[in-house]
Structure 1
Amino acid sequence: MRISEKLTTTAWAPGLLLQLKAELDELSARGSLNIPEEPGGWWHQYVCPHHHTELLFDPAERDAHAFGCPHGCRIEGDAYRGAWLVFKHQAIARYALQAAAVFAGTKEPAYADLAKRILVSYAAQFPLYPVHPDAQPWMLKGRAFHQALTEAIWATTLLRAYVLLQDEGVAFTSEEQRHMDTFLAMLESSMTQYRYILIHEKKNAENNYTAWLNAALSCVYAARGEVEPLKALIEGEGGWRHHLSIGVKPDHFEFEGATYYHIFVLRAYLISAEMAERFGIDLYHEEGQQGQSMQGMFEVLIGLADTQGLLPALHDGPMARLPFAREIAEIMEIGLSYYANVALPASTLVEPDTGVSAYAALLGEVYRQMTGERRRSTLEALMYGEGDVELAQSMPNRSSLFLEHSGFVAGRIAGNKLSFLADFGEHGGSHGHYDKLHLSLHHTAGALSPDLGMVPYGSALRKAWFAETASHNTVSVGGASQAPHQGSCKRYEATPESVSVWLHSEGAYEGCLMDRHLHLTPDWLVDWFEVSLTRENTMDWWMHALQAPEGVEGGWLPTQLNSSETAVSAAGEAAPDAAGYDLVRLQGSYHQDAASDRIVLRYAVGTEAEASYVYQTIAAIPDAKLLSIETPGTSIDPSRPLSGLLQRQQGKHGRFIQVYTVGEPAELEWIPAGTGNGASPRLIVRSGSKEIGYELHPEQGLTVLRRIGA
């Protein structure tokens, strides 16, 4: 739908157009839309070395050599300058697209002239940028940036502006067109060369780079009206269809298992599809060799999102940042237009009558992140949005999600405000974490213990903390992180009464077996984690909650520790690289009252005005230690510490049992193996009038022996 049509068919487009027009007027008056003559560097270095937060960027700033962090630091240096230039180049490219969009809506020539000026200025400057001499050795080098990848992304934004101007009948002078033709030719040459290196020399066609090189070339061919090379790009080795087949798992999740890179690749696919559509070629409904599709990739996001529409930061990727939010808004606007009213044939996750509200909730959340309000309010809406759908406050009811090939499972059940998301799949390559059998716990009011995300790669905490096992809600052994490996799911059952999951790991440590059993009912979540070792060692069970426990019940007495003591010193042994343990401060220790067989911790979720409480009831294990810890914060701001929980056991066998409930704590009765007629250990859980008896069976996993009041 053309922008001019949206002005008459939607309630939000006219006001948004005026808002975007006013922003351009202000930036132009301040001289902020002149392109830098210096090439950009690597944006991941735009991070404070002290607080590990992303540095501040103001697109209205004409030039900068000192850069601030949210905590008041002023940072200088070539690496930071180069990273700032990445942001500046990307911002100006976006303003070129914005100017073209404003012209499409107003027909005021000044905005076409502004878009043309930016495009031609970059086209004239591009040959003057050298192949970047400062790029790191592992990078495919660009001209305008360290990375060819960044260059491809930036180029698609510029060329989307160019084709939009073409669509609106804007003419270029012969001199302007000469610069544009040179730019397109150089871009085609470099992108083609980089594709050859990735696909044929490095044998790495599935790389997310490839999707973006394809997108950039698609834009080049669309800009020049060349359909045959576009068709060849779609069908050839490493092309659009082939990449969909090898870069996305059959369950529709991007092969690295990272939400960020899933969206990253999906956005590139959509740009290629947008350019193909200009020639009457429909890629929006095409499939890969094992049924992979862009619609399926959208439904994965719908299945992973929490109740508010917030996406989890699985493996590498931020919990939240403005440029990422814009990318989510862009793809979700497109997804809403193409897919929201149609469910996948095999999908039980989102039915056609709830598809629109699911997309709308994801959009509402991402616009809230950008502007504080759940309304269409950015360029992405004007460019790609259609219709007057109300942006929902929360997701519709969804079933559980089992990504068998990618190795993730999300458990949900009607009647319980709690849900979970667990990781058992492949490591994820360079973007993976040492986090097998990690568990994120969510409440309908918000996350309780999510994945903490990833800081920009220039931060030392990328590898020192956020990728390590100790920063995840799983188990580590011997003070070391898990080895890169793949776990398995030995059982997944979802019925109206419960969701049962048995996750298994054999490759985390030599001589180590780990099993996590999860059972979600309308009343509680049982989390039973077993560890078996061939030699005695320290086993640590981690939980990182966004809120510290508010109260302690159940007969355990807290004792304060010296806050300078680290988890490394307490463990008595650790890997030489510390595996994140040196960043964990011990705050307190809970000593069991002999009269009690449990500890109960309470967490507040939601807003202060509408707080809800989640209770964690921990089964008492003889000789176990329960420690209160302080760790770096989330990837949004690691300098704001979190209060966590560390359960520690020593020996050849470890057992960690928790039951999570809302409103009141559960009562537990533990029956050891060999007691009565039971050959295996048993647990009885009671809450209100409900009771379930569980047995841990060696072949069947966690089984239900009886239910009362269910």
Structure 2
Amino acid sequence: MSDAVKVSETIRAKVQRLAWASEVANSLKEEIDQLQASGSLMIPLEPGGWWHQYVCPQHHTELLFDPSVADATQFHCPHGCVVEGAEYRGAWLVYKHQQLARVALQAAAVYAALRDYAYAELSKQLIVAYAAQFPLYPVHPDAQPWMLKGRAFHQALTESIWSTTLIRAYVLLLDEGVVFSADEQRKVDTFLHLLEESMRAYRGILIHERNNAENNYTAWLNASLACVYAARGERHELEALVEAEGGFRHHLSIGVKPDQLEFEGSTYYHVFVLRAYLIFAEMAKRCDRDLYACEGSLGQSMCGMVEALAELADDQGLLPALHDGPMARLPYAREIAEVAELGLSHYAVEGLVPILCEAYRQMGSADGSRCGLEALLYGATASIAISAEVLTKPRGSKLWPASGFVVGRQMDNPLSFLVDFGEHGGAHGHLDKLHLSLMHKDQTLTPDFGVVPYGSTLRPWFGETTSHNTVSLGGKSQAEHTGRCLRFEQTEASTYAWLQSDAAYVGCRLNRHLLLTSDWLLDLFEVTLTSEEPQSIEWWMHPVVAPQSKQLKELSFADKVQYPPIHIQENLPDLPIVGRLFPEESNVSMKYLLSPDGVQIHQTALVLPDQELLTVRTPGHSIDPSVPLTALLHRQPGKQARFIHVYRVGAGATISLLAEDHLGITAEGRLTTVQLLPEQGLLIV
């Protein structure tokens, strides 16, 4: 128990020695006081449903949740809609149960920090109330058939996550010397027993019946069981879970790629699984087992996973929404803050600082300084060194060969890129091979849009090829497949990546060449069809701000007759073509104005014979799809196409085709010649 005592002593030490910790503790205390005054801290007697159904059916935005509301049957959209129904009620109950478990942990932390016993009592009341109610929740009759059913929630997954929060509150109270009466302890023991039975049964289903041990569920079932064993002081059981099939070490070996990214290729699920691992390690430490340096069979580790996050984030600290996952969401920001704080504490990964600051901004801190429960519980005893050197420290390019991602950076260029060429990602993957995210140090221009809550009927759009910055054929999506990286190199002068796919469509080969110099980024995308029939070959780009161009003509009603909308699939809206860009001597020039300081990114497109460059109205990003965006569609009919674009900050460039395999890029009066060789790719000559 010595290590456990250190946890609570660390909370007190932070409050006594650090101004930010004292401010955070008192802020958390005031937040609890307001919730108590609202009368909203009574646990619901109904089990929760599936939180993904908490989404407006019209606007596809997540519905609002007010933590001060004790009960609700009407649910509000940010745009003013009010919805009712059992599925929304069930989803709201998920939020409520999760909030109350968080309040239990928050109250325990406030007690550890400020020593006001009223908060220990509140935490204990919530824990005991849930422990007493848990046996009365049925194994959920309304859960969808594919789910592993929980008691307090539709999904056992949600139940496992919720239980770790509740048990962390419980053990923190024990560390602080809070005594549970015999009756209270019996209720807690019954809860722990039932929870253990459920989690063990679900592990058996996943690992043995479904042969799906690598599932992200497994990491959370393990974390929940680790909490049970640590709460009961059962070291032997926890040790066995570390080494079991599907246990901590085995899951780390099969659920994480050798390059340290979670196997589904989703940033969200990477954070999701890493957080479960860190909770397991926290509980193992209570049983005198140190897992923080544990490695999988191919060198996978929690340290490697946090380092991967530091490499993936943009210069603002935003994590890309690769494959399924939200672009931004308060509960997600809290999870990121927890993982980043623990990563800093245990591994001193300096690159986590921008990520942590961004998470705290999303949690309400104007300047990115520490705030909220995660800071008090997991923040290091020393203050974050938020310095210009840390926040702007240059990073090099990075290839994740097993997962299939590549980031290109060049020290003197504020532009960088991220490309996805790897495995589909299973249930959480998107049909997006060779997708390009174009980033500026101040803002990402063409991010991956992630996905809306799964209960939205618009969810399929966010997995389609046409919603990504890559190539489609005839509006149809790519097949599930894996691309490859044929060449990747970084020199002092440039960064180059050559990505290829030949399984996106039958008889089709895609080659994307990205060449980043200190001055510009060249994107050359070649498409070759071997099938007999020509196709509409479509290059897509989805910027977060609309392009500005003197060469853009908005289409009138009469013009629109010539341009039928893009049809994706029956259950998704058609995409109207709303403008055409007319080249001047084969070049189209566009610019994008980024906030907040008016940085301009200039894009030049070389429009070759038989090609056209159009603007298309699409749904917005996954935070609010109801606010439409303007996409670029560069397309050509036929059996082969070459799409050539150059991006530059400050002023535009011009592109000339000097020969079939030679390009000229002119910027600020300087001509650079680039050659495309079949076996070597792009070369500056």
Aligned partner of 2:27 among 2, 13, 19: 19
Partner of 2:505: 509
CA offset at residue 568 of structure 1?
8.9
How many Å apart are 1:405 and its aligned residue?
A: 0.4
Q: Distance in 2 between matches of 1:54 and 1:175?
A: 41
Indicate conservation of the 8 Å contact 2:564/2:577, yes or no: no
- TM-score, with length taken from structure 2: 0.96
- In structure 2, what is the equivalent of residue 347 of structure 1? none
Aligned residues of 2:120 and 2:178 also touching (Cα < 8 A) = yes
Q: Mean alpha-carbon deviation: is it higher for 626-635 or for 83-92? A: 626-635
Partner of 2:595: 606
Equivalent position SS for 2:547? coil
1:558: how far off?
Answer: 2.1
Q: Secondary structure at the match of 1:459?
A: coil
Aligned match of 2:266: 258
1:668 aligns to what? 655
Counterpart in the other structure of 2:384: 389
Corresponding position: 1:110 with 2:118: yes
Q: What is the one-letter code of the residue matched to 2:430?
A: H
**How far off is 1:25 after superposition?**
1.3
What is the aligned partner in structure 1 of residue 4 from structure 2? none
Relative to 1, partners in 2 of residues 1:68 and 1:429: Cα closer, same or farther, differing over 3 Å?
same
| Distance verdict in 2 for CA 1:24–1:270, change over 3 Å | same
**1:147-177 C-alpha deviation (Å, 9 max, x unpaired):** 0000000000000000001111111000000
| Alignment correspondent of 1:443 | 440
- Which residue identity is paired with 1:204? N
Amino acid at match of 2:362: Q
CA RMSD of aligned residues (A): 1.6
**CA 152–378 in structure 1, closer or farther in 2 if over 3 Å, else same:** same
1:361 paired residue number: 354
| 8 Å Cα contact 2:395/2:409 also seen in 1 | yes
Choose which of 411, 417, 421 in structure 1 pairs with 2:418.
421
Contact 1:583 1:632 in 2 (8 A): no
- Name the aligned partner's letter for residue 591 of structure 1: F
Q: Which secondary structure does the structure 1 equivalent of 2:438 belong to?
A: strand
3-state SS in 1 of match to 2:526: strand
- In 2, Cα distance between the equivalents of 1:161 and 1:309? 30
474-483 or 584-593: bigger deviation:
584-593
8 Å CA contact retained: 2:607, 2:613: no
Q: In 2, are the aligned partners of 1:363 and 1:391 still within 8 Å (CA)?
A: no
Is the contact made by 2:451 and 2:622 (CA closer than 8 Å) also made in structure 1?
Answer: yes
| Equivalent residue letter for 1:701 | G
Query: Which stretch has the larger CA shift, 248-257 or 5-14?
Result: 5-14
User: 1:698 matched to which residue of 2?
Assistant: 678
Distance 2:558 2:326 in 1: 29
* Selected match of 2:630 from 628, 631, 643: 643
> Could you tell me how far apart the structure 2 residues matched to 1:282 and 1:408 are?
31
Q: Distance in 2 between matches of 1:448 and 1:559?
A: 22
Specify whether residues 153 and 559 from structure 1 end up closer, same or farther in structure 2 by C-alpha distance, changes over 3 A only.
closer
Instruction: Tell whether the 8 Å contact from 1:624 to 1:649 is kept in structure 2 after alignment.
Output: yes
Aligned with residue 379 of structure 1, among 367, 373, 383: 373
Please, which runs of 5 or more residues in structure 1 have no aligned partner?
Answer: 341-354, 674-680
User: Residue 701 of structure 1: CA displacement?
Assistant: 1.4
Deviation track 1:197-250 (CA, whole Å, cap 9, x = no partner) reads: 000110000000000000000000000000000000000100000000000000
* Whole-angstrom distance in 2 between the partners of 1:368 and 1:233: 37
> Post-superposition shift, 1:699?
1.3
Deviations 1:396-448 (A, max 9, x none): 21111110000000000011010000000000000000000000001111111
SS of structure 2 residue aligned to 1:170: coil
User: Is structure 2 residue 299 aligned with structure 1 residue 291?
Assistant: yes
Residue 586 (structure 2) aligned to one of 580, 597, 604: 597
Q: SS state of the match for residue 489, structure 1? A: strand
Three-state SS of the structure 1 residue aligned to 2:19 is: coil
**In structure 2, the residue corresponding to 1:491 is in which secondary structure?**
strand
| 1:597, distance to aligned residue in structure 2 (A) | 2.0
How far did 1:690 drift?
3.8
Matched, 1:520 2:528: no
State the number of aligned residues: 671
Shift of 1:551: 2.8
Shift of 1:579: 8.6
Pairing of 1:329-348 with structure 2 (within 5 A): 329-340=337-348
Q: 1:585 aligns with which of 540, 554, 576?
A: 576
Counterpart in the other structure of 1:272: 280
| Identical amino acids, percent of aligned pairs | 57
Distance change (3 Å), C-alpha of 1:567 and 1:384: farther
From 120, 125, 128, the equivalent of 1:120 is 128
1:560 pairs with 2:555: yes
Measured in 1, the distance between the counterparts of 2:554 and 2:71 equals 53
Matches of 1:659 and 1:243 in 2, distance apart?
Answer: 43
Aligned CA distance change for structure 1 residues 402 and 614 (closer, same or farther; 3 Å): same
Structure 2, gaps ≥5 residues long: 1-6
- Matches of 1:96 and 1:479, distance apart in 2: 50
